[in-house]
Amino acid sequence: MKNLTQSLLVLTFFMSACSYGQEIAILKYGGGGDWYSNPTALPNLIRFCNDKIATTIAAKPKTVEVGDISIYQYPFLHMTGHGNVFFTQEEAENLRTYLLAGGFLHIDDNYGMEPYLRRELQKVFPDKSLEELGADHPIFDQNYKFPEGLPKIHEHDSKRPQALGIIHEGRLVLLFTFESDLGDGWEDPSVHNDPEEVRRKALQMGANIVAYAFKS
């Protein structure tokens, strides 16, 4: 009965999301990490997508908690931060159901969250692991072409950028961008003083992610 009720709620929420237009949300998680970092990033990405790839996303992203049933209203969730991440078992189950039902989660490491995230994703998908996406993955060939894969936006530890994902039945349901820091490139120019070319690459890659999520 619990599974049936949950399935009906999933269907209801996704149908509601389709009826009321496109909205995306920031995922608020526990553990003490700064889930709220890069406050200008997602509004700027939304503006870019609406201007350049003909989306109609609400200008201001919502904020939802991992365990809240309202995550099903949003086809695209964005998660970022620098430090610790923690999901309860109930939150992990809720997130797993959301992703398997058609939702999409983009996690952008703002530096330092990677080891904690890997630990918590084992709760969400104990039977799956993050795997690196090749440069030939469709996410790099949406509205903008990235023949070399994920662009490098900020140096951090001077490691190469990696796009890591979890795939279910041929569909990428979760994307983890690591050693790239797309979100910093989406922020207002005055925040990090990135060159315009770097910001453009970050926004274009972000638009590809949004486009892929909405199509999949």
Q: What is the CATH number of the domain that holds 85?
A: 3.40.50.12140
Mean pLDDT calculated for residue range 56-61: 96
Mean pLDDT calculated for residue range 150-157: 84
Model pLDDT for residues 34-56, shown as the tens digit of each residue:
999 999 999 999 999 999 999 99
Q: How far apart (Å, rounded) are the C-alpha atoms in residues 81 and 187?
A: 14
| Widest CA span in the chain | 55
Find the domain containing 140 and state its range: 2-215
On the question of pLDDT at 89 being above 70, the answer is yes
Q: Which residues contact 14 (CB under 8 A, 6 or more apart)?
A: 72, 75, 101, 102
On the question of pLDDT at 5 being above 50, the answer is no
Check: CB of residue 82 under 8 Å from CB of residue 110: yes
Check: CB of residue 27 under 8 Å from CB of residue 78: yes
Tell me what the pLDDT averaged over the chain comes to.
Answer: 90
Number of domains, the chain: 1
Model pLDDT for residues 159-190, shown as the tens digit of each residue:
899 999 999 999 999 999 999 999 999 999 88
Task: Look at residues 46, 55, 81 and name the one whose alpha carbon lies nearest to residue 66.
Answer: 81
pLDDT at 80: 96
